[in-house]
Structure 1
Amino acid sequence: MSYADKVFISMCNDILNNGYSSEGQDVRPRWEDGEPAHTIKQFAVVNRYDLSKEFPIMTLRPTAFKSAIDEILWIWQKKSNNVNDLNSKIWDSWADEAGSIGKAYGYQLGVKHKYKEGEFDQVDRVLYDLKHNPYSRRIMTNIYVHQDLDEMNLYPCAYSVTFNVTDNKLNAILNQRSQDILVANNWNVVQYAVLVHMFAQVSGLEVGELVHVIADAHIYDRHVSIVKELISRDVYEAPKFSMNKDIKDFYEFTVNDFTLENYNKGEQIKKIPVAV
Protein backbone atom coordinates (compact mmCIF):
# COMPACT_ATOMS: atom_id res chain seq x y z
CA MET A 1 0.00 0.00 0.00
CA SER A 2 1.22 3.49 -0.85
CA TYR A 3 1.81 5.49 2.32
CA ALA A 4 -0.32 8.27 0.80
CA ASP A 5 -3.20 5.77 0.54
CA LYS A 6 -2.75 4.82 4.19
CA VAL A 7 -2.86 8.47 5.29
CA PHE A 8 -5.85 9.26 3.09
CA ILE A 9 -7.91 6.27 4.23
CA SER A 10 -7.20 6.95 7.90
CA MET A 11 -8.03 10.64 7.56
CA CYS A 12 -11.29 9.99 5.72
CA ASN A 13 -12.41 7.37 8.24
CA ASP A 14 -11.72 9.79 11.08
CA ILE A 15 -13.69 12.59 9.41
CA LEU A 16 -16.63 10.31 8.56
CA ASN A 17 -16.77 8.59 11.94
CA ASN A 18 -15.80 11.41 14.29
CA GLY A 19 -16.31 14.61 12.31
CA TYR A 20 -18.60 17.59 12.93
CA SER A 21 -21.49 18.23 10.53
CA SER A 22 -22.45 21.72 9.36
CA GLU A 23 -26.09 20.71 8.88
CA GLY A 24 -28.34 23.42 10.28
CA GLN A 25 -25.72 26.13 9.83
CA ASP A 26 -25.74 28.94 7.26
CA VAL A 27 -22.87 28.00 4.93
CA ARG A 28 -21.33 29.96 2.05
CA PRO A 29 -20.60 27.22 -0.56
CA ARG A 30 -23.38 26.21 -2.94
CA TRP A 31 -23.93 23.39 -5.40
CA GLU A 32 -24.74 24.14 -9.02
CA ASP A 33 -28.46 23.77 -8.27
CA GLY A 34 -28.21 26.45 -5.57
CA GLU A 35 -28.54 24.10 -2.62
CA PRO A 36 -26.18 24.72 0.35
CA ALA A 37 -23.08 22.52 0.33
CA HIS A 38 -22.75 21.11 3.84
CA THR A 39 -19.70 19.27 5.14
CA ILE A 40 -18.43 16.85 7.75
CA LYS A 41 -15.13 18.18 9.07
CA GLN A 42 -12.24 17.66 11.42
CA PHE A 43 -10.24 20.57 12.84
CA ALA A 44 -6.44 20.71 12.59
CA VAL A 45 -5.54 17.57 10.67
CA VAL A 46 -1.77 17.05 10.45
CA ASN A 47 -0.30 14.56 7.97
CA ARG A 48 3.42 13.84 7.58
CA TYR A 49 5.17 12.41 4.52
CA ASP A 50 8.84 11.39 4.43
CA LEU A 51 9.79 12.27 0.86
CA SER A 52 13.13 10.51 1.18
CA LYS A 53 11.31 7.18 1.51
CA GLU A 54 8.40 7.40 -0.91
CA PHE A 55 6.63 9.78 -3.25
CA PRO A 56 3.20 10.54 -1.69
CA ILE A 57 0.76 9.90 -4.52
CA MET A 58 -2.43 7.90 -3.99
CA THR A 59 -3.15 4.71 -5.90
CA LEU A 60 -6.83 4.45 -4.91
CA ARG A 61 -7.55 6.57 -7.98
CA PRO A 62 -5.29 8.53 -10.34
CA THR A 63 -3.92 11.89 -9.27
CA ALA A 64 -3.28 13.95 -12.39
CA PHE A 65 0.47 14.17 -11.88
CA LYS A 66 1.40 16.41 -14.82
CA SER A 67 -1.57 18.75 -14.31
CA ALA A 68 -0.72 19.12 -10.63
CA ILE A 69 2.84 20.07 -11.51
CA ASP A 70 1.64 22.47 -14.20
CA GLU A 71 -0.44 24.30 -11.60
CA ILE A 72 2.35 24.50 -9.01
CA LEU A 73 4.67 25.91 -11.69
CA TRP A 74 1.94 28.39 -12.67
CA ILE A 75 1.82 29.66 -9.09
CA TRP A 76 5.43 29.36 -7.91
CA GLN A 77 7.50 29.64 -11.08
CA LYS A 78 5.42 31.79 -13.43
CA LYS A 79 3.90 33.63 -10.43
CA SER A 80 0.82 34.08 -12.57
CA ASN A 81 -2.74 34.95 -11.62
CA ASN A 82 -4.10 34.47 -15.14
CA VAL A 83 -5.71 31.18 -16.18
CA ASN A 84 -4.52 31.69 -19.76
CA ASP A 85 -1.04 30.74 -18.49
CA LEU A 86 -2.40 27.42 -17.18
CA ASN A 87 -3.09 24.33 -19.27
CA SER A 88 -6.02 23.01 -17.22
CA LYS A 89 -9.47 24.59 -16.70
CA ILE A 90 -9.66 24.09 -12.94
CA TRP A 91 -9.43 27.80 -12.14
CA ASP A 92 -11.89 29.02 -14.77
CA SER A 93 -14.78 29.36 -12.30
CA TRP A 94 -12.84 32.04 -10.40
CA ALA A 95 -11.46 33.94 -13.40
CA ASP A 96 -12.84 37.15 -14.90
CA GLU A 97 -13.32 37.84 -18.61
CA ALA A 98 -9.60 38.50 -19.05
CA GLY A 99 -8.62 35.31 -17.24
CA SER A 100 -7.45 36.98 -14.02
CA ILE A 101 -8.17 35.59 -10.56
CA GLY A 102 -7.24 38.92 -9.00
CA LYS A 103 -4.39 39.56 -6.58
CA ALA A 104 -4.29 35.93 -5.54
CA TYR A 105 -1.84 33.02 -5.45
CA GLY A 106 0.94 33.61 -8.00
CA TYR A 107 0.42 37.35 -7.92
CA GLN A 108 1.38 37.50 -4.24
CA LEU A 109 4.49 35.36 -4.74
CA GLY A 110 5.69 37.77 -7.42
CA VAL A 111 5.41 40.94 -5.33
CA LYS A 112 8.88 42.25 -4.44
CA HIS A 113 9.79 43.15 -0.86
CA LYS A 114 12.78 44.96 0.60
CA TYR A 115 15.35 43.10 2.68
CA LYS A 116 18.79 44.14 3.88
CA GLU A 117 20.27 42.02 1.06
CA GLY A 118 18.12 43.77 -1.58
CA GLU A 119 14.71 43.32 -3.20
CA PHE A 120 13.25 39.83 -3.66
CA ASP A 121 9.86 38.34 -4.29
CA GLN A 122 8.89 35.53 -1.90
CA VAL A 123 10.06 32.68 -4.14
CA ASP A 124 13.42 34.25 -4.86
CA ARG A 125 13.87 35.00 -1.16
CA VAL A 126 13.38 31.31 -0.33
CA LEU A 127 15.86 30.30 -3.01
CA TYR A 128 18.37 32.91 -1.77
CA ASP A 129 18.13 31.74 1.83
CA LEU A 130 18.35 28.05 0.95
CA LYS A 131 21.59 28.77 -0.87
CA HIS A 132 23.16 31.36 1.45
CA ASN A 133 21.63 30.66 4.87
CA PRO A 134 19.98 27.23 4.72
CA TYR A 135 19.75 26.73 8.49
CA SER A 136 17.77 29.93 8.99
CA ARG A 137 14.51 29.60 10.92
CA ARG A 138 12.95 32.42 8.87
CA ILE A 139 12.47 30.76 5.47
CA MET A 140 8.78 31.02 4.70
CA THR A 141 6.13 32.35 2.32
CA ASN A 142 2.65 33.71 2.99
CA ILE A 143 0.09 34.65 0.34
CA TYR A 144 -2.83 35.39 2.69
CA VAL A 145 -2.34 39.16 2.44
CA HIS A 146 -5.24 40.87 4.21
CA GLN A 147 -4.86 44.20 2.45
CA ASP A 148 -5.44 42.49 -0.91
CA LEU A 149 -8.22 40.04 0.03
CA ASP A 150 -10.93 42.26 -1.43
CA GLU A 151 -9.16 42.03 -4.81
CA MET A 152 -8.85 38.23 -4.80
CA ASN A 153 -11.48 36.18 -6.63
CA LEU A 154 -10.74 33.35 -4.19
CA TYR A 155 -9.10 33.60 -0.79
CA PRO A 156 -5.99 31.35 -0.72
CA CYS A 157 -6.61 27.87 0.66
CA ALA A 158 -2.99 26.67 0.78
CA TYR A 159 -1.56 29.94 2.00
CA SER A 160 1.76 29.46 3.79
CA VAL A 161 4.87 27.31 3.52
CA THR A 162 7.66 27.18 6.09
CA PHE A 163 10.94 25.63 4.98
CA ASN A 164 13.44 24.16 7.41
CA VAL A 165 16.75 22.41 6.76
CA THR A 166 17.84 19.68 9.16
CA ASP A 167 20.95 17.58 8.56
CA ASN A 168 21.12 18.79 4.94
CA LYS A 169 17.52 17.70 4.34
CA LEU A 170 14.88 20.18 3.19
CA ASN A 171 11.62 19.92 5.11
CA ALA A 172 8.46 21.94 4.58
CA ILE A 173 5.23 22.68 6.41
CA LEU A 174 2.26 23.45 4.16
CA ASN A 175 -0.47 25.35 6.00
CA GLN A 176 -3.96 25.19 4.56
CA ARG A 177 -6.97 27.00 6.02
CA SER A 178 -9.51 24.73 4.31
CA GLN A 179 -9.55 21.68 2.07
CA ASP A 180 -12.10 19.72 0.07
CA ILE A 181 -10.59 16.33 0.91
CA LEU A 182 -11.99 14.34 -2.01
CA VAL A 183 -11.22 16.88 -4.71
CA ALA A 184 -7.98 18.46 -3.55
CA ASN A 185 -6.14 16.55 -0.83
CA ASN A 186 -3.71 14.38 -2.74
CA TRP A 187 -3.50 16.96 -5.52
CA ASN A 188 -1.99 19.46 -3.06
CA VAL A 189 0.22 16.84 -1.42
CA VAL A 190 1.69 15.85 -4.79
CA GLN A 191 2.23 19.49 -5.77
CA TYR A 192 4.12 20.49 -2.66
CA ALA A 193 6.09 17.24 -2.58
CA VAL A 194 7.32 18.11 -6.08
CA LEU A 195 8.05 21.69 -4.97
CA VAL A 196 10.23 20.41 -2.11
CA HIS A 197 12.07 18.12 -4.54
CA MET A 198 12.70 21.06 -6.90
CA PHE A 199 13.87 23.44 -4.20
CA ALA A 200 16.11 20.78 -2.67
CA GLN A 201 17.78 19.92 -5.96
CA VAL A 202 18.56 23.49 -7.00
CA SER A 203 19.85 24.26 -3.48
CA GLY A 204 22.16 21.25 -3.18
CA LEU A 205 20.01 19.64 -0.49
CA GLU A 206 18.31 16.29 0.01
CA VAL A 207 14.55 15.94 0.50
CA GLY A 208 13.13 15.45 3.97
CA GLU A 209 9.57 15.70 5.28
CA LEU A 210 6.46 17.40 3.97
CA VAL A 211 4.09 18.20 6.82
CA HIS A 212 0.55 19.12 5.74
CA VAL A 213 -1.51 21.06 8.26
CA ILE A 214 -5.21 21.48 7.38
CA ALA A 215 -7.26 23.73 9.66
CA ASP A 216 -10.65 22.65 8.26
CA ALA A 217 -10.44 19.23 6.60
CA HIS A 218 -13.88 18.50 5.21
CA ILE A 219 -15.88 16.08 3.11
CA TYR A 220 -18.92 17.56 1.36
CA ASP A 221 -22.31 15.94 1.86
CA ARG A 222 -22.59 14.93 -1.81
CA HIS A 223 -19.11 13.37 -1.62
CA VAL A 224 -19.71 11.02 1.32
CA SER A 225 -20.83 8.01 -0.72
CA ILE A 226 -18.01 8.59 -3.22
CA VAL A 227 -15.40 8.73 -0.44
CA LYS A 228 -16.76 5.54 1.18
CA GLU A 229 -16.47 3.68 -2.12
CA LEU A 230 -13.01 5.13 -2.79
CA ILE A 231 -11.44 4.11 0.51
CA SER A 232 -12.77 0.56 0.15
CA ARG A 233 -10.79 -0.03 -3.06
CA ASP A 234 -7.69 -2.11 -3.64
CA VAL A 235 -4.41 -0.26 -3.17
CA TYR A 236 -0.98 -0.57 -4.78
CA GLU A 237 2.62 0.22 -3.99
CA ALA A 238 3.78 3.78 -4.58
CA PRO A 239 5.38 4.53 -7.95
CA LYS A 240 8.97 5.69 -8.33
CA PHE A 241 9.34 9.46 -8.75
CA SER A 242 12.17 10.98 -10.77
CA MET A 243 13.05 14.37 -12.21
CA ASN A 244 15.69 15.82 -14.48
CA LYS A 245 18.85 15.89 -12.36
CA ASP A 246 20.62 18.28 -14.73
CA ILE A 247 18.47 21.26 -13.78
CA LYS A 248 20.06 23.58 -11.22
CA ASP A 249 17.86 26.64 -11.83
CA PHE A 250 14.32 26.52 -10.44
CA TYR A 251 13.03 28.59 -13.36
CA GLU A 252 14.17 26.02 -15.93
CA PHE A 253 11.86 23.20 -14.78
CA THR A 254 9.00 22.19 -17.07
CA VAL A 255 6.31 19.54 -16.60
CA ASN A 256 8.30 17.27 -18.91
CA ASP A 257 11.14 17.05 -16.36
CA PHE A 258 9.12 14.80 -14.02
CA THR A 259 8.16 11.15 -14.37
CA LEU A 260 6.47 8.37 -12.43
CA GLU A 261 7.45 4.75 -13.03
CA ASN A 262 5.07 1.85 -12.33
CA TYR A 263 2.13 4.01 -11.31
CA ASN A 264 -0.59 1.43 -10.74
CA LYS A 265 -3.92 2.91 -9.65
CA GLY A 266 -7.65 2.39 -9.50
CA GLU A 267 -10.21 3.84 -11.87
CA GLN A 268 -10.76 7.58 -12.04
CA ILE A 269 -13.93 9.01 -10.49
CA LYS A 270 -15.70 11.15 -13.06
CA LYS A 271 -18.06 14.08 -12.69
CA ILE A 272 -17.40 14.79 -9.02
CA PRO A 273 -19.72 17.66 -8.02
CA VAL A 274 -17.74 20.73 -6.94
CA ALA A 275 -19.10 23.32 -4.52
CA VAL A 276 -18.35 26.95 -5.30
Structure 2
Amino acid sequence: MSLADNIFIDMCRDILENGVSTEGEKVRPKWEDGSYAYTIKKFGVVNRYDLSKEFPAITLRRTALKSSVDELLWIWQKKSNNIHDLSSHIWDSWADENGSIGKAYGYQLGVKHQYKEGEMDQVDRVIFDLKNNPYSRRIMTNIYVHQDLHEMKLYPCAYSMTFNVTPNKETGKLKLNAILNQRSQDILAANNWNVVQYAVLVHMLAQVCDMEAGELVHVIADAHIYDRHIPIIKELIERQTYPAPEFWINPDIKNFYDFTPDDVKLENYVTGPQVKGIPVAV
Protein backbone atom coordinates (compact mmCIF):
# COMPACT_ATOMS: atom_id res chain seq x y z
CA MET A 1 0.00 0.00 0.00
CA SER A 2 1.26 3.46 -0.86
CA LEU A 3 1.27 6.17 1.81
CA ALA A 4 -1.25 8.12 -0.28
CA ASP A 5 -3.66 5.15 -0.21
CA ASN A 6 -3.25 4.81 3.54
CA ILE A 7 -3.93 8.52 4.11
CA PHE A 8 -6.94 8.51 1.79
CA ILE A 9 -8.52 5.41 3.34
CA ASP A 10 -8.02 6.66 6.91
CA MET A 11 -9.43 10.08 6.01
CA CYS A 12 -12.53 8.63 4.34
CA ARG A 13 -13.21 6.26 7.24
CA ASP A 14 -12.84 9.11 9.71
CA ILE A 15 -15.30 11.29 7.78
CA LEU A 16 -17.82 8.45 7.44
CA GLU A 17 -17.56 7.36 11.08
CA ASN A 18 -17.01 10.67 12.87
CA GLY A 19 -18.21 13.36 10.47
CA VAL A 20 -21.37 15.43 10.74
CA SER A 21 -24.21 15.54 8.22
CA THR A 22 -25.53 18.73 6.59
CA GLU A 23 -28.82 17.07 5.65
CA GLY A 24 -31.71 19.48 6.17
CA GLU A 25 -29.41 22.49 6.51
CA LYS A 26 -29.20 25.44 4.10
CA VAL A 27 -26.61 24.42 1.49
CA ARG A 28 -25.65 25.93 -1.87
CA PRO A 29 -24.79 22.95 -4.13
CA LYS A 30 -27.46 21.03 -5.99
CA TRP A 31 -27.54 17.87 -8.09
CA GLU A 32 -28.53 17.98 -11.75
CA ASP A 33 -32.10 17.01 -10.82
CA GLY A 34 -32.36 20.13 -8.65
CA SER A 35 -32.25 18.40 -5.27
CA TYR A 36 -29.88 19.70 -2.60
CA ALA A 37 -26.48 18.03 -2.37
CA TYR A 38 -25.86 17.24 1.29
CA THR A 39 -22.58 16.01 2.74
CA ILE A 40 -20.91 14.26 5.63
CA LYS A 41 -18.02 16.48 6.63
CA LYS A 42 -15.05 16.90 8.94
CA PHE A 43 -13.46 20.20 9.89
CA GLY A 44 -9.72 20.79 9.74
CA VAL A 45 -8.28 17.72 8.01
CA VAL A 46 -4.47 17.85 7.68
CA ASN A 47 -2.54 15.35 5.54
CA ARG A 48 1.24 15.24 5.09
CA TYR A 49 3.05 13.78 2.08
CA ASP A 50 6.83 13.37 1.96
CA LEU A 51 7.57 13.84 -1.73
CA SER A 52 11.17 12.74 -1.24
CA LYS A 53 9.96 9.24 -0.39
CA GLU A 54 7.14 8.60 -2.86
CA PHE A 55 4.74 10.31 -5.22
CA PRO A 56 1.26 10.62 -3.63
CA ALA A 57 -0.96 9.16 -6.36
CA ILE A 58 -3.50 6.73 -4.92
CA THR A 59 -3.70 3.26 -6.46
CA LEU A 60 -7.29 2.49 -5.43
CA ARG A 61 -8.26 4.05 -8.75
CA ARG A 62 -6.27 5.93 -11.37
CA THR A 63 -5.70 9.65 -11.00
CA ALA A 64 -5.26 11.19 -14.44
CA LEU A 65 -1.83 12.79 -14.21
CA LYS A 66 -1.81 14.51 -17.62
CA SER A 67 -5.25 16.09 -17.16
CA SER A 68 -4.51 17.23 -13.62
CA VAL A 69 -1.19 18.78 -14.67
CA ASP A 70 -2.89 20.43 -17.65
CA GLU A 71 -5.27 22.16 -15.23
CA LEU A 72 -2.42 23.08 -12.89
CA LEU A 73 -0.46 24.71 -15.71
CA TRP A 74 -3.63 26.44 -16.96
CA ILE A 75 -3.78 28.18 -13.58
CA TRP A 76 -0.14 28.59 -12.59
CA GLN A 77 1.67 28.89 -15.90
CA LYS A 78 -0.85 30.24 -18.42
CA LYS A 79 -2.60 32.18 -15.63
CA SER A 80 -5.76 31.78 -17.63
CA ASN A 81 -9.39 32.07 -16.62
CA ASN A 82 -10.77 30.82 -19.95
CA ILE A 83 -11.71 27.19 -20.52
CA HIS A 84 -10.66 27.44 -24.18
CA ASP A 85 -7.07 27.32 -22.88
CA LEU A 86 -7.80 24.05 -21.05
CA SER A 87 -7.88 20.58 -22.62
CA SER A 88 -10.45 19.03 -20.28
CA HIS A 89 -14.09 20.02 -19.72
CA ILE A 90 -14.07 20.05 -15.90
CA TRP A 91 -14.74 23.80 -15.75
CA ASP A 92 -17.49 23.92 -18.38
CA SER A 93 -20.30 24.20 -15.82
CA TRP A 94 -18.84 27.42 -14.42
CA ALA A 95 -17.90 29.21 -17.66
CA ASP A 96 -19.89 31.90 -19.43
CA GLU A 97 -20.72 31.99 -23.15
CA ASN A 98 -17.18 33.21 -23.92
CA GLY A 99 -15.49 30.51 -21.84
CA SER A 100 -14.53 32.80 -18.95
CA ILE A 101 -14.80 31.81 -15.27
CA GLY A 102 -14.42 35.45 -14.26
CA LYS A 103 -11.67 36.91 -12.09
CA ALA A 104 -10.85 33.52 -10.60
CA TYR A 105 -7.90 31.14 -10.28
CA GLY A 106 -5.38 31.87 -13.04
CA TYR A 107 -6.59 35.44 -13.41
CA GLN A 108 -5.53 36.23 -9.84
CA LEU A 109 -2.09 34.66 -10.24
CA GLY A 110 -1.50 36.79 -13.33
CA VAL A 111 -2.27 40.14 -11.67
CA LYS A 112 0.94 42.14 -11.29
CA HIS A 113 1.78 43.72 -7.95
CA GLN A 114 4.35 46.33 -7.01
CA TYR A 115 7.24 45.14 -4.85
CA LYS A 116 10.44 46.94 -3.90
CA GLU A 117 12.21 44.76 -6.49
CA GLY A 118 9.74 45.76 -9.21
CA GLU A 119 6.43 44.61 -10.68
CA MET A 120 5.71 40.88 -10.55
CA ASP A 121 2.74 38.57 -10.45
CA GLN A 122 2.41 36.04 -7.63
CA VAL A 123 4.02 33.12 -9.48
CA ASP A 124 7.04 35.15 -10.55
CA ARG A 125 7.34 36.49 -7.01
CA VAL A 126 7.50 32.94 -5.62
CA ILE A 127 10.20 31.94 -8.10
CA PHE A 128 12.14 35.16 -7.46
CA ASP A 129 12.16 34.60 -3.70
CA LEU A 130 13.01 30.90 -3.94
CA LYS A 131 16.04 31.78 -6.05
CA ASN A 132 17.14 34.94 -4.23
CA ASN A 133 15.83 34.68 -0.67
CA PRO A 134 14.95 31.02 -0.05
CA TYR A 135 14.83 31.31 3.74
CA SER A 136 12.15 33.98 3.59
CA ARG A 137 9.03 33.16 5.62
CA ARG A 138 6.91 35.24 3.25
CA ILE A 139 6.83 33.06 0.14
CA MET A 140 3.16 32.50 -0.52
CA THR A 141 0.28 32.99 -2.93
CA ASN A 142 -3.37 33.86 -2.33
CA ILE A 143 -6.18 33.86 -4.89
CA TYR A 144 -9.09 34.41 -2.48
CA VAL A 145 -9.39 38.12 -3.24
CA HIS A 146 -12.52 39.49 -1.57
CA GLN A 147 -12.87 42.53 -3.81
CA ASP A 148 -13.16 40.26 -6.87
CA LEU A 149 -15.34 37.47 -5.44
CA HIS A 150 -18.48 38.93 -7.02
CA GLU A 151 -16.82 38.54 -10.44
CA MET A 152 -15.85 34.88 -9.95
CA LYS A 153 -18.05 32.08 -11.30
CA LEU A 154 -16.79 29.89 -8.44
CA TYR A 155 -15.01 30.99 -5.28
CA PRO A 156 -11.52 29.41 -5.13
CA CYS A 157 -11.40 26.07 -3.29
CA ALA A 158 -7.62 25.58 -3.21
CA TYR A 159 -6.79 29.21 -2.51
CA SER A 160 -3.33 29.51 -0.99
CA MET A 161 0.16 28.04 -1.18
CA THR A 162 2.85 28.74 1.41
CA PHE A 163 6.40 27.68 0.55
CA ASN A 164 9.14 27.01 3.08
CA VAL A 165 12.72 25.94 2.44
CA THR A 166 14.81 23.72 4.73
CA PRO A 167 18.33 22.34 4.26
CA ASN A 168 18.95 18.68 3.54
CA LYS A 169 22.07 18.01 5.59
CA GLU A 170 22.66 14.67 3.87
CA THR A 171 22.74 15.97 0.28
CA GLY A 172 23.74 19.58 0.89
CA LYS A 173 20.82 20.82 -1.21
CA LEU A 174 17.88 22.91 -0.17
CA LYS A 175 14.51 21.20 0.21
CA LEU A 176 11.27 22.85 -0.94
CA ASN A 177 8.24 22.27 1.27
CA ALA A 178 4.74 23.65 0.83
CA ILE A 179 1.35 23.98 2.50
CA LEU A 180 -1.75 23.84 0.32
CA ASN A 181 -4.72 25.53 1.99
CA GLN A 182 -8.16 24.53 0.82
CA ARG A 183 -11.41 25.98 2.18
CA SER A 184 -13.54 23.10 0.87
CA GLN A 185 -13.03 19.78 -0.89
CA ASP A 186 -15.18 17.12 -2.53
CA ILE A 187 -13.14 14.13 -1.33
CA LEU A 188 -14.22 11.65 -4.01
CA ALA A 189 -14.01 13.92 -7.02
CA ALA A 190 -11.09 16.16 -6.12
CA ASN A 191 -8.92 14.99 -3.22
CA ASN A 192 -6.19 13.04 -4.95
CA TRP A 193 -6.53 15.18 -8.06
CA ASN A 194 -5.45 18.25 -6.05
CA VAL A 195 -2.79 16.35 -4.10
CA VAL A 196 -1.20 15.12 -7.33
CA GLN A 197 -1.39 18.59 -8.91
CA TYR A 198 0.37 20.39 -6.09
CA ALA A 199 2.90 17.60 -5.60
CA VAL A 200 3.84 18.14 -9.25
CA LEU A 201 4.00 21.89 -8.69
CA VAL A 202 6.44 21.42 -5.79
CA HIS A 203 8.59 19.13 -7.96
CA MET A 204 8.56 21.64 -10.82
CA LEU A 205 9.45 24.65 -8.69
CA ALA A 206 12.10 22.68 -6.82
CA GLN A 207 13.77 21.66 -10.07
CA VAL A 208 13.86 25.12 -11.64
CA CYS A 209 15.16 26.61 -8.36
CA ASP A 210 17.86 23.92 -7.93
CA MET A 211 16.20 22.33 -4.92
CA GLU A 212 14.79 18.97 -3.89
CA ALA A 213 11.10 18.28 -3.36
CA GLY A 214 10.30 17.99 0.34
CA GLU A 215 6.96 17.82 2.15
CA LEU A 216 3.51 18.78 0.91
CA VAL A 217 1.06 19.51 3.72
CA HIS A 218 -2.59 19.62 2.67
CA VAL A 219 -4.95 21.53 4.97
CA ILE A 220 -8.68 21.17 4.25
CA ALA A 221 -11.09 23.30 6.26
CA ASP A 222 -14.25 21.46 5.11
CA ALA A 223 -13.46 17.91 3.94
CA HIS A 224 -16.70 16.36 2.76
CA ILE A 225 -18.23 13.35 1.09
CA TYR A 226 -21.48 14.04 -0.80
CA ASP A 227 -24.50 11.92 0.06
CA ARG A 228 -24.59 10.31 -3.40
CA HIS A 229 -20.87 9.52 -3.17
CA ILE A 230 -21.07 7.53 0.07
CA PRO A 231 -21.62 4.07 -1.49
CA ILE A 232 -18.86 4.76 -4.04
CA ILE A 233 -16.42 5.75 -1.30
CA LYS A 234 -17.32 2.69 0.79
CA GLU A 235 -16.55 0.39 -2.14
CA LEU A 236 -13.41 2.30 -3.11
CA ILE A 237 -11.68 2.12 0.28
CA GLU A 238 -12.16 -1.65 0.47
CA ARG A 239 -10.25 -2.25 -2.75
CA GLN A 240 -6.85 -3.84 -3.14
CA THR A 241 -3.97 -1.37 -3.08
CA TYR A 242 -0.62 -1.40 -4.88
CA PRO A 243 2.85 0.12 -4.39
CA ALA A 244 3.23 3.81 -5.13
CA PRO A 245 4.22 4.69 -8.71
CA GLU A 246 7.57 6.19 -9.63
CA PHE A 247 7.54 9.86 -10.62
CA TRP A 248 9.55 11.14 -13.59
CA ILE A 249 10.08 14.80 -14.43
CA ASN A 250 12.01 16.00 -17.46
CA PRO A 251 15.42 16.97 -16.02
CA ASP A 252 16.17 19.27 -18.95
CA ILE A 253 13.53 21.85 -18.01
CA LYS A 254 15.09 24.76 -16.10
CA ASN A 255 12.39 27.38 -16.71
CA PHE A 256 8.99 26.92 -15.08
CA TYR A 257 7.25 28.35 -18.14
CA ASP A 258 8.72 25.65 -20.38
CA PHE A 259 6.96 22.75 -18.64
CA THR A 260 4.19 20.89 -20.47
CA PRO A 261 2.03 17.98 -19.27
CA ASP A 262 4.34 15.69 -21.27
CA ASP A 263 7.29 16.62 -19.04
CA VAL A 264 5.99 14.50 -16.16
CA LYS A 265 4.84 10.90 -16.00
CA LEU A 266 4.14 8.07 -13.58
CA GLU A 267 5.93 4.78 -14.14
CA ASN A 268 4.75 1.41 -12.83
CA TYR A 269 1.40 2.95 -11.93
CA VAL A 270 -0.83 -0.04 -11.16
CA THR A 271 -4.36 0.80 -10.02
CA GLY A 272 -7.82 -0.53 -9.48
CA PRO A 273 -10.53 0.14 -12.10
CA GLN A 274 -11.67 3.68 -12.75
CA VAL A 275 -14.86 4.91 -11.12
CA LYS A 276 -17.11 6.17 -13.89
CA GLY A 277 -20.16 8.38 -13.87
CA ILE A 278 -19.47 10.17 -10.58
CA PRO A 279 -22.31 12.68 -10.03
CA VAL A 280 -21.03 16.23 -9.59
CA ALA A 281 -22.81 18.80 -7.45
CA VAL A 282 -22.85 22.33 -8.86
SS across alignment from 1:176: strand
Output the CA distance in 1 between the equivalents of 2:24 and 2:69: 38
Deviations 1:40-86 (A, max 9, x none): 00000000000000000000001011000000000000000000000
Output the CA distance in 2 between the equivalents of 1:245 and 1:72: 19
SS across alignment from 1:75: helix
Shift of 1:259: 1.3
- Percent identity, please: 76
Q: Paired residue for 1:91? A: 91
The answer to whether the aligner puts 1:275 opposite 2:281 as a matched pair is yes
Q: Paired residue for 1:26? A: 26
Q: Paired residue for 1:171? A: 177
Output the CA distance in 2 between the equivalents of 1:187 and 1:88: 13
Q: State the AA in 1 paired with 2:199.
A: A
Output the CA distance in 2 between the equivalents of 1:114 and 1:263: 44
Residue of 193, 206, 217 corresponding to 1:187 = 193
Q: Paired residue for 1:197? A: 203
Deviations 1:80-135 (A, max 9, x none): 00000000000000000100000000000000000000000000000000000001
SS across alignment from 1:119: strand
Q: How many residues were matched structurally?
A: 276
Q: State the AA in 2 paired with 1:138.
A: R
The answer to whether the aligner puts 1:256 opposite 2:262 as a matched pair is yes
Q: Paired residue for 1:155? A: 155
Q: State the AA in 1 paired with 2:64.
A: A
Per the normalisation by structure 1, the TM-score is 1.00
Alignment gaps of 5+ in structure 2: 168-173
The answer to whether the aligner puts 1:44 opposite 2:44 as a matched pair is yes
Output the CA distance in 2 between the equivalents of 1:27 and 1:34: 12
Shift of 1:176: 0.1
The answer to whether the aligner puts 1:228 opposite 2:234 as a matched pair is yes
Output the CA distance in 2 between the equivalents of 1:135 and 1:164: 7
Q: Paired residue for 1:146? A: 146
Q: State the AA in 1 paired with 2:271.
A: K
Shift of 1:23: 1.2
Deviations 1:26-53 (A, max 9, x none): 1111000000000000000000000000
Output the CA distance in 1 between the equivalents of 2:219 and 2:237: 21
Output the CA distance in 2 between the equivalents of 1:51 and 1:177: 23
Shift of 1:234: 0.2
Alignment gaps of 5+ in structure 1: none
Output the CA distance in 2 between the equivalents of 1:259 and 1:192: 14
Q: State the AA in 2 paired with 1:129.
A: D
Shift of 1:2: 1.0
User: Could you list the runs of 4 or more consecutive aligned residues of structure 1 that deviate by over 6 angstroms after TM superposition?
Assistant: none
Output the CA distance in 2 between the equivalents of 1:144 and 1:259: 30
Q: Paired residue for 1:238? A: 244
Residue of 211, 218, 224 corresponding to 1:212 = 218
Q: State the AA in 2 paired with 1:141.
A: T
SS across alignment from 1:177: strand
**Equivalence map 1:101-112=2 (5 Å):** 101-112=101-112
Q: What is the CA RMSD across the aligned residues, in angstroms?
A: 0.4
Q: State the AA in 2 paired with 1:271.
A: G
Output the CA distance in 1 between the equivalents of 2:223 and 2:265: 29
